[in-house]
Amino acid sequence: MAGLQLSNVTKSFGETPVLNSIDLSVTDGEFLTLVGPSGCGKSTLLRIIAGLESMDGGSLTIDDQDVSQVRAADRNLAMVFQSYALYPHLTVAENMMTPLKLRDLNWSERFPVMGPMLGRGKYRALMDQVRDTADILKITPLLDRKPGQMSGGQRQRAALGRAMVRNPVAFLMDEPLSNLDAALRVHMRSELADLHRSLGATFIYVTHDQAEALTMSDRMAVMMHGDILQLDTPHEIYTNPQHVDVASFVGSPKINLLPVDEGEGGRVSVLGITVAEAEGPVVQVGIRCEHLVISEAVKAHAWEAHVVHLENLGSDLFVHCAIAESDTRLIARTSPASRHFMGQTVYLKADPKAVLAFGKDGRRVPLTAVAQAEPKKTLRKRAAA
Amino acid sequence: MTDAVLENSPSLAKPRSDGSVFRFSTTEAMKHAVLIVGALIVLLPFYVMVSYSFKAPSEIMTQTGGFFGTQELFRDDFCVKLGNAAEDCMVRPIIYNYTTAFEKAPLLRYMMNGVIVTLSIFLIQVIVALPCAYALSKLRWWGRETVFALVLFCLLIPVHAIALPLYIMLSKVGLTNSYAALVIPWTISVFGIFLMRQFFMTVPDDLIDAARMDGMSEYSIIWNVMLPTAIPALLAFAIFSVVAHWNDYFWPRIVITGNRDLFTPPLGLREFKGDADGDNFGPMMATAVVIVTPLIVAFLIAQRRFIEGITLSGMK
Amino acid sequence: MVRSRAHIWFAGPAILLMFVILILPIFIAAGLSFTNYSLGNDGAQFVGLQNYERIFTRSTYEKMFIATFTYVGVVVPLTVGLGLGAALLINSVTRFGDIYKTIYFLPVMAALLAMAIVWEFALHPTIGIINATLTRGCGTFLEGWSWYAQGCERTFPLWLTDRDYAIWTVSFIGVWQGFGFNMVLYLAGLTSIPRELYHAAEMDGAKSGWDRFRLVTWPMLGPTTVFVVTISCIRSFQVFDTVEAFYPQGGGPGKSVFVMMFAIYEKAIQQNLMGIGAAITVVFLGFVMMLTLIQRWLVERRVHYT
C-alpha cells in the first residue's frame, strides 16, 4: 500500500493535447475517483499511472520511488478494465492464477505440463491464495467456469479477483461498472465501497458518472479538458465547487445557473432580485434545486415564475419554472405532497447562504454579506429618499 | 498511439509525442533482418525469371551479365539454320526472348484463352450463384434449409477429387478439348453461393420490400437492388475466382488433350517447356513472365482488395 | 418475406448443377472404383475390392502414400509455422510491414506452374543459380560443414532429379508457394484479438514476447489455426502442378514424388485405368472428408467461449 504522486504530467496524442500539467497526490489507502465527461483525459491519466501509456513530461512516484520509467508489469499495480479483459480460454481460477504464476514461478515451473509437476508445492500455495480471494468475493462456485459462461456481474468479480489476488500496491479501475445494468451497478457500488474498507488498499477509480464518484470516494478529482478542476472530498465538491464547470457537472438535476444583471460591483442581483454580495465581479450564480424555496404565496426577494413542467419521482417533486418575462428556467425541489400544477404562478426564493457566485473565468467568487441583511438597508434608503 | 505495452522494446528512453522520432532498437533491427532474408528467398525465383528473360543463352549458361544482361547482340542459330546470313541473325537477347515466346508458343492465343475462360467462368458463376443466394437469403420456400445444407455439404468437396468422373462424363458427351470442358465444371461455385448468401443476409428487408412495392419483379430485384449493394463481396469473389482459374493447371491438363489452340496460359508454358530442347531457357522465362505478370500487376494495384478477398474466402 | 415461385428459377440451376457436377461424380467415382473400366470400353466389369486391394498392398501405391504423406507432413507444419511467424513479425514491426506482406504473398498469386518451371531452372544442377552460388562458396569457411565440403568435392545435390532430395525439394517449393496465404489468414486473425487482453497481460506481469504469445496470442488464434491447418492439409493433398511439371512420366526418381493426384492422373488419364483411378479418388476423398470433420469438431468444441 503506498502513496502515489503525479507531478506535472503532460500528454498529447499527436497534435492534440490530452493532459495539461497534472499534479495529483494520492494518499495511502484512500479511494480516489477521477471523474469527468468523456474526453477529459481521466482514462489516459489512469493508464499513465498503470504504465500502459507513456507520459510526455512529468513524473510519477509510488512510495517515494520514481517509477516513471518502470514498465507496467513491474509497478505492482493491478487494473480492472472496463471490458474486464479476462482470458477467454481460461477458467476463473486460471485467470486468477495468471498474475501469481507470472510473478512467483520461474521459467521452468510455468511450462504447461511439466510445470505443475515440478513446482507442486508452489502451485498448491498459489491455488490457496486464489481460493482465499475467491472466498472474499464470493465467487468460489465460479472458479471452474470460463468467462463466456458467466454474467456481466460475475465477470466483473472475476476481474476484481484477478486484480486482488496478488495484493498490489494500488488498484486502478477504469469504469468497471459501466457495462452493468442500472440495478446491478447500484448494488456493486456499495460492494466496492465495502471491499475498499475491508482491504484498506488504495483505489484509483475512473468514471464518468458523478453519482458513483460522490457515493464511493474519499476524495474526487473533477477533470475537464485535460485539467483537474478541483480535488476535494465529495461533500466539498458538492457544496463548495470552485469552478462553474464543477458545479454543473456534479449534482442531479443539474444546478440552476442564472446570469447576473449588469450592475454595481459587489451586489449580485438576478433579474432584479438581489441575492448576495460578493468580493469580486460575478457573471453567473448557481443555486441547487434543493436551495430554492417554491411557494404559491408572494414572497419578497423571490422571482415570479410559472410552472412549465413537473417531474414526480415519488420521493421528490421537481418543478420546472420559467421566470416571468425572461428566458430563464429554474428547477426547484419540493415534496410531492405540495400541490403544484402546470401554468401555476409561483414564487421562487433562493437561500442566500447557499448561493454560489462565479466570475468571468468560471472561478468561484466568495460571498461577503448575506442578502438577508440587504432588504432592510434598501428599504430604509428608499424610505429615506 | 504510443501504446507502451505493444512496443517491442521495454527501454522507453525517449518520450514519443508524435511518433516521429525514430527509435533504433536492436530487436526491431533483428526482426527486419529476418524478414529481409525471408523476402530474398521468396523473391529469388522472380528475380531469376525476370532476369533470365532478358539474357542471351551464353549469359544464361554462365550466370553472368547482372540483372539486365549486357544485351549484347548474339547470333540466333535457328535463324541461321533457316538459311539466313549470320549478320542478319544478330538479335538483342531481350527482343529475341520475348518475340520467340510470342511466336513459338502462340502466347497471345494462350493469353486470350485465359481471358476467355476466366471471364466466362466468373460470369456464369455469378449468373448461377447470385439468384440462388438471393433465394436462400430473402425468399421463404419449402426446402430452403435443406438446400442450404446441401450447399454447405458441397463446400466440403474438393473439386480436384471429382475431376476424374467429370472427365469421363465429358468425354462420353464428346465435350473434351473444348471451351465448354474448361468452363463447365466451374460454373457451380458453392463458395460463391455461400459468400453471397451471407452477404445478402445483411441487406435490410425493407429495401427489398420497397422495391416490391414499386412493382419490381423478383428477378429484377436481384440485378438492380441486390447486386449494387453486394459489390465489395462480389469483388472479393471475383478476385478469388479469377486467380484460381487463371492459374489452374490440373483441370486443363486433363481435359485438353490435343487441341493446342485451347491451351490456357499454364498449359501453354508447359507445352513450351516440353517442346524446348533444353536450350530455350530465355524464351521460356519470358513466357513465364508474361503469364505471371497480369495477376501480379493487378495485385500490386489493388492489394487490399486481394487480401480482403482471400481473407473472406478463407474465413468460411 | 414473400412466398413466390421465383425460387424455383433462382435456385433451380444451382441445385441442378450441384448434383450433376459435384455430387453425381462422387457416386460415379465410388461406383467405378469397383470396376476395371477404361475409357472407350462399352461396359465395365465388376471386380469387387480388387482395386482397393492393389492400392493398399502394391509397392507402387505404398510409395504413393509415402510421397503424399511426406509432402503433407513437411508442407503443412512449415507453411503454418512460417505463416504464423511472418504474421507475428509483420504485425510487430512499425515500418515496411505492407511491403513484406506484399512480397510474401506474391508466390500465392503467381501461377504455380510457371513458378515451378522457374524453380526447376534455378535448381538445375549445373546452370541453375542455386548450385552456381553454392559452388562459389567453395574454398571458404563454409567447407567446414561436411555436407558442403562433399558437395564441393563431387557435385552439389541434383535436387529435383536426386532420389534423396526430390521429395524435399518439391515440398520446399510447396512451402514457398503456400505460406503467404496462411500469413494473410493469420494477419486477419491477429487483428481480431482484443488489445485490452495484452494490457491485462502486462498488468499481470507478462513481460516477454513469449509470455504474451503463450497467454494471449496463441490461444486467441485457436480457431484461425484450426482453419489454417485444415486448409493447408487439403491443399497439400491436392498437389499436382509441380509434380507433373517436373516429372511428366513416373512420379520422380524412384517414384519418390508419386503423389496421389499425380497417381490419379497417371493411372486414369495416361494409362486409361479408370477403375484404379477412381479408387484412389475415393481414398483421397475419404482423407479430405475426415480432415474437414475433425476441423468442424474441433471448432465446435472451442466455440463456447467468446
> pLDDT by residue (tens digit) across A206-238?
999 999 999 999 999 999 999 999 999 999 999
To the nearest whole Å, the CA of A249 is away from the closest chain C CA by 29
Which residues, listed in sequence order, are joined to residue C129 by a DSSP beta bridge?
Answer: none
The chain-wide mean pLDDT, for chain A, equals: 86
pLDDT band for position B2 (50/70/90)? very low
| pLDDT attached to residue A107 | 64
Q: Does A255 touch chain C (CB under 8 A)?
A: no
Hey, are the CB atoms on C304 and A146 less than 8 Å from each other? yes
| pLDDT attached to residue B14 | 33
CA proximity to A175, closest of A291, A317, A34, A2: A34
With a cut of 60, say whether residue A384 has pLDDT above it.
no
Give the whole-number percent of chain C exceeding pLDDT 70: 97
To the nearest whole Å, the CA of C127 is away from the closest chain B CA by 5
Structure confidence by residue, pLDDT tens digits, B231-269: 878 888 888 888 889 988 889 988 888 778 888 888 888
Q: Give the Å distances, CA to CA, from B100 to B93, B106, B108, B281, B292.
A: 10, 9, 12, 11, 17
With a cut of 70, say whether residue B17 has pLDDT above it.
no
Structure confidence by residue, pLDDT tens digits, C232-254: 988 888 888 888 888 888 777 87
Q: Does A360 touch chain C (CB under 8 A)?
A: no
Which range among B81-90, C152-161, C251-260 shows the weakest confidence by mean pLDDT? Answer: B81-90
Cell of A8: 506535472
The residue among B70 and C290 whose pLDDT is bigger is C290
Phi and psi based region of residue C114 (left: phi greater than 0; alpha: psi -120 to 50; beta: remaining): alpha
Cis peptide before A253 (omega within 30 of 0): yes
Hey, are the CB atoms on B12 and A54 less than 8 Å from each other? yes
Cβ pair A233, A62 in contact under 8 A: no
Hey, are the CB atoms on A85 and C199 less than 8 Å from each other? yes
Cα angle at C112 between C107 and C117, to 5 degrees?
110
With a cut of 80, say whether residue B277 has pLDDT above it.
no
With a cut of 60, say whether residue A311 has pLDDT above it.
yes
Please state, in angstroms and rounded to a whole number, the distance separating the CA atoms of residues B190 and B148: 10
| pLDDT attached to residue A114 | 61
With a cut of 60, say whether residue A379 has pLDDT above it.
no
Helix (H) or strand (E) holding A245: helix A244-249
To the nearest whole Å, the CA of A336 is away from the closest chain C CA by 47
Q: Is A155 helix (H, G, I), strand (E, B) or coil?
A: helix
| pLDDT attached to residue A385 | 39
| pLDDT attached to residue B6 | 47
Mean pLDDT of C41-63: 81
**How many residues make up chain C in this entry?**
306
Structure confidence by residue, pLDDT tens digits, C67-110: 899 999 999 999 999 999 999 999 888 888 888 988 998 898 88
Mean pLDDT of A2-6: 85
Which among A13, A69, A72 is the nearest to B5, CB-wise?
Answer: A72
With a cut of 80, say whether residue A104 has pLDDT above it.
no
With a cut of 60, say whether residue A376 has pLDDT above it.
no
Cα angle at B189 between B188 and B192, to 5 degrees?
140
Hey, are the CB atoms on C206 and A79 less than 8 Å from each other? no
Q: Is B211 exposed, middle or buried (0-12, 13-18, 19+ CB in 10 A)?
A: middle
The residue among A330 and B161 whose pLDDT is bigger is A330
| pLDDT attached to residue B307 | 72
Helices and strands, counts by H and E, chain A: 10, 22
| pLDDT attached to residue B240 | 82
Mean pLDDT of C104-133: 85
| pLDDT attached to residue A375 | 38
Structure confidence by residue, pLDDT tens digits, A246-290: 999 998 899 999 888 876 666 777 777 777 777 788 888 899 999
Give the whole-number percent of chain A exceeding pLDDT 90: 48
pLDDT band for position A172 (50/70/90)? very high
**Contacting residues of B for A71, CB less than 8 Å apart:** 4, 10, 12
The nearest alpha carbon in chain B to A72 belongs to B5
| pLDDT attached to residue C217 | 93
The nearest alpha carbon in chain B to A71 belongs to B10
Please state, in angstroms and rounded to a whole number, the distance separating the CA atoms of residues A98 and B122: 52
Q: Which chains touch B (3 or more CB pairs under 8 A)?
A: A, C
Q: Which chains touch A (3 or more CB pairs under 8 A)?
A: B, C
Which among A13, A69, A71 is the nearest to B1, CB-wise?
Answer: A13
Residue for grid cell 468571468: A360
The nearest alpha carbon in chain B to C235 belongs to B158
Cβ pair B4, A52 in contact under 8 A: yes
Mean pLDDT of A46-61: 92
Mean pLDDT of A43-52: 93
| pLDDT attached to residue C303 | 55
Residue C41 per-residue DSSP state? B
The residue among B309 and A307 whose pLDDT is bigger is A307
With a cut of 90, say whether residue C138 has pLDDT above it.
no
Give the whole-number percent of chain B exceeding pLDDT 90: 8
pTM greater than 0.95: no
Mean pLDDT of C114-143: 81
With a cut of 80, say whether residue B314 has pLDDT above it.
no
Please state, in angstroms and rounded to a whole number, the distance separating the CA atoms of residues A20 and A378: 47
pLDDT band for position A109 (50/70/90)? low
B interface test, pick of A18, A54, A68, A69 with most B CB neighbours within 10 Å: A54
Half-sphere exposure of A350 (CA within 13 A, CB side): 27
Cβ pair A51, C181 in contact under 8 A: no
With a cut of 90, say whether residue A304 has pLDDT above it.
no
Structure confidence by residue, pLDDT tens digits, B38-65: 999 999 999 888 888 887 777 777 777 6
Give the whole-number percent of chain B exceeding pLDDT 70: 82
C interface test, pick of B7, B24, B35 with most C CB neighbours within 10 Å: B35
Which among C98, C188, C289 is the nearest to B311, CB-wise?
Answer: C188
With a cut of 70, say whether residue A38 has pLDDT above it.
yes
Q: Does A113 touch chain C (CB under 8 A)?
A: no
B interface test, pick of C9, C79, C109 with most B CB neighbours within 10 Å: C109
pLDDT band for position A380 (50/70/90)? very low
| pLDDT attached to residue C306 | 41
Please state, in angstroms and rounded to a whole number, the distance separating the CA atoms of residues C87 and C101: 8
Hey, are the CB atoms on A52 and B3 less than 8 Å from each other? yes
**Contacting residues of B for C243, CB less than 8 Å apart:** none
| pLDDT attached to residue A130 | 92
pLDDT band for position C231 (50/70/90)? confident
Structure confidence by residue, pLDDT tens digits, A314-339: 999 999 999 888 888 889 999 988 88
Cβ pair B71, B34 in contact under 8 A: no
The residue among C126 and C176 whose pLDDT is bigger is C176
Helix (H) or strand (E) holding A275: strand A273-278
CA proximity to B246, closest of A101, A283, C71, C110: C110
| pLDDT attached to residue C241 | 86
Q: ipTM > 0.85? A: no
Which among B159, B163, B218 is the nearest to C6, CB-wise?
Answer: B218
